[in-house]
Amino acid sequence: MIPRYIVDFDLETLPKLHTDVIVIGGGIAGLFTAIKASERNRVLMITKKSLFESNTRYAQGGIAAVFSEEDSPEFHLQDTLIAGAGLCDEAAVQILVHEGPQGVQELIRLGTQFDEEEDGQYALTREGAHSQRRILHANGDATGFEIVRALAAKVQANPSIEVWDDHFVLDLLTEDGECRGAIVQKPDGTRVGVFGKAVVLCTGGTGQLYRYTTNPDVATGDGIAMAYRAGAVIRDMEFIQFHPTSLCYPGAPRFLISEAVRGEGAYLRNIRGERFMDKYHPQLELAPRDVVARAIVEEMEQTKSTYVYIDITHQDPELVRHRFPTIHQYCLKYGLDLTTDWIPVAPAAHYTMGGVRTGLQGETSIGRLYACGEVSSTGVHGANRLASNSLSEAIVFGRRIVESINQLEPVRTPMALRYQEDRQSHPPGPVVERRLKLQKTMVRWVGLRRNRQGLERALDEMKRHLPIYRARLSTQEELEFANLLTCAALAAESALSREESRGAHYREDYPERDDDRWLKHTIIERENGLGEERLPCSSGKAIG
């Protein structure tokens, strides 16, 4: 069994810091929540790298919110429910579609500059499975970067927010079913206990579980693993979204080629040059992501290739350069010109739909512990996230979390805890190799297509790494590997239990969706193991 705490410690002997609200992680969820919380609280924000390194920073396509006359929250709701393949919590989606536009206005007030048309209206694009143009973007395809720029500037100028960069949060400290703080490792390896009336996890997803991912190195599932060790309910970990189009070119990282490129009319072609999406879905290149990703893999197999092409060469080159400056420049580094060349692409792990289960105020199953953004499972995304819904989700639920925290009384009794597993050994073997091995296992057996045999094999392979939890871990690589291993096991166990195909979870041995048996969530708790959870009444309709 995975131990409650990943390191041994004695709080008595550690330096302590007391604040009001502890926000763990940067990205849009951390930055926005910290800014809102700072209106009435002292905030400590902890990032393991910096405010500028998160999944948000690399978000290209944009942020989905109803801004045009032709659109309505009802359309946005329906699109989200359909993409979510029956597993969205409709109440959470209602909140998203109604509160999203106001949240975007707040981002604008905080300094984010979204692209505008010549008439001064916000420029809106479409992405897969959206029935309307409702994606706001910034600097063409650098939306996340612009949001981080604006919010980080506010955070850095805010005297109520203290930022600790390069600090690694080891574990959440809990007592009597409540979260009291966290134990944190400083850059010099020493440790400190931090305490507050609430802790908000904003630690992002698990992209680094896979060898091929659009996520940066920091996406190692730390928040999900920590919350699991602390006893929180973790939900729907089998639903991992693969982005259909990441650059697949020798020597190049799996850079995201935004869905907005297809939104602006790009075609997908196999290596024979044939368009193929008409064989798979009536929405063609703008079908839901899981459909497009599996169609691409199918074509790759049929043509014995490791990629397909995305082709936007038929569009006006000036428009392409203006709309996608980041992608255009990035591809040029590798000798590929988006305006004249077909760009080789393949699917890559992109987004963790599941995570720490939260209610409508972002509260987890542990008192005083909240989760916001990709680390959370709010019920908005269901089995397959609608593109560009995640940035809106972070601001909508970030605001709700702060409303809830503002009602909390501070905790007055000090916490004393000594945790000893008598860990003696150092981790066996180089952890870099282990991480690579785990990533390969995940790609091979817990990837876009799964089956019982493969999932069982993956779990067996993971078991071989278990002694790591009995070792004395100290480096960031070791700690991250331990967290990744936990998330890998949660994903594989959940995927094995769900004997159907739905959204991003495709089982070759159960290729059909089975609403009679599986219109429900999978949950995992450290104490109780794997279980199932019925959908809230509002979500009972089998939409999607």
483 binds ligand SIN (CB under 6 A): no
Per CB under 6 A, the list member of 41, 206, 215, 258 interacting with ligand SIN is 258
**Tokens encoding 320:** 């392409």
Task: Please state the φ and ψ torsions of residue 293, each to the nearest 5 degrees.
Answer: -60, -45
Nearer to ligand SIN, 387 or 504 (CB): 387
Distances (CA, A) of 138 to 112, 116, 204, 324: 8, 9, 21, 10
Per CB under 6 A, the list member of 25, 27, 61, 398 interacting with ligand SIN is 61
Nearer to ligand SIN, 61 or 204 (CB): 61
203 binds ligand SIN (CB under 6 A): no
Contact of 153 with 160, CB cutoff 8 Å? no
CA pseudo-torsion sign 209, 490, 365, 409:
negative
Number of neighbouring beta carbons within 10 Å of residue 302: 12
Burial of 306 (0-12, 13-18, 19+ CB in 10 A): exposed
388 binds ligand SIN (CB under 6 A): yes
Least distance to ligand SIN from the beta carbon of 496, Å? 26
CB-closest chain residue to ligand SIN: 61
Least distance to ligand SIN from the beta carbon of 256, Å? 6
Per CB under 6 A, the list member of 60, 270, 392, 441 interacting with ligand SIN is 60
Q: What are the residue numbers of the active site?
A: 289
Bridge-based pairing of strands 343-352 and 240-247 is antiparallel
Least distance to ligand SIN from the beta carbon of 61, Å? 3
Residue 116 CA to chain centroid, in angstroms? Answer: 28
Least distance to ligand SIN from the beta carbon of 124, Å? 14
Residues 394, 218: Cα–Cα separation, whole Å: 18
Query: x/- binding map, residues 40-59, to ligand SIN, per CB under 6 A?
Result: -------------------x
What's the residue count for the chain?
Answer: 544
Nearer to ligand SIN, 60 or 486 (CB): 60
Nearer to ligand SIN, 83 or 484 (CB): 83
Quote the DSSP letter at residue 66.
Answer: -
259 binds ligand SIN (CB under 6 A): yes
Nearer to ligand SIN, 202 or 353 (CB): 353
Residues 438, 455: Cα–Cα separation, whole Å: 13
Binding segment toward ligand SIN, per CB under 6 A, in 155-163, 177-185, 257-265, 266-274: 257-265
Nearer to ligand SIN, 259 or 285 (CB): 259
Least distance to ligand SIN from the beta carbon of 60, Å? 4
Total number of residues that touch ligand SIN (CB under 6 A): 11
Least distance to ligand SIN from the beta carbon of 348, Å? 11
Nearer to ligand SIN, 33 or 388 (CB): 388
Least distance to ligand SIN from the beta carbon of 137, Å? 9
Residue listed under structure tokens 């290149």 = 285
Nearer to ligand SIN, 290 or 363 (CB): 290
Least distance to ligand SIN from the beta carbon of 257, Å? 8
Of residues 462-481, which lie at the interface with ligand SIN (CB under 6 A)?
Answer: none
Binding segment toward ligand SIN, per CB under 6 A, in 21-29, 83-91, 252-260, 486-494: 252-260
Binding segment toward ligand SIN, per CB under 6 A, in 251-259, 320-328, 393-401, 453-461: 251-259
Of residues 321-340, which lie at the interface with ligand SIN (CB under 6 A)?
Answer: none
Distances (CA, A) of 134 to 399, 421, 503: 21, 52, 22
Least distance to ligand SIN from the beta carbon of 59, Å? 6
Quote the DSSP letter at residue 192.
Answer: E
Please list the residues that pair with 309 across neighbouring strands.
269, 344
Binding segment toward ligand SIN, per CB under 6 A, in 73-81, 329-337, 382-390, 487-495: 382-390
Nearer to ligand SIN, 326 or 486 (CB): 326
Of residues 342-371, which lie at the interface with ligand SIN (CB under 6 A)?
Answer: 350
Contact of 144 with 201, CB cutoff 8 Å? no
Please list the residues that pair with 45 across neighbouring strands.
23, 163
Per CB under 6 A, the list member of 81, 209, 260, 402 interacting with ligand SIN is 260
Contact of 353 with 377, CB cutoff 8 Å? yes
String of DSSP letters for 483-528: HHHHHHHHHHHHHHH--S-BTTB-BTTB-S--HHHHSEEEEEETTT
Nearer to ligand SIN, 201 or 349 (CB): 349
| Helix H or strand E encompassing 175 | strand 168-175
387 binds ligand SIN (CB under 6 A): yes
Quote the DSSP letter at residue 31.
Answer: H
Least distance to ligand SIN from the beta carbon of 360, Å? 22
Beta carbons within 8 Å of 378's beta carbon, 6+ residues apart = 89, 92, 358, 360, 362, 393, 397
**Tokens encoding 512:** 């059909």
String of DSSP letters for 87-142: -S-HHHHHHHHHHHHHHHHHHHHTT----B-TTSSBPEE--TT-SS--EE-STTT-
Please give the residue ranges that form the binding site for ligand SIN (CB under 6 A).
59-61, 256, 258-260, 350, 387-388, 390
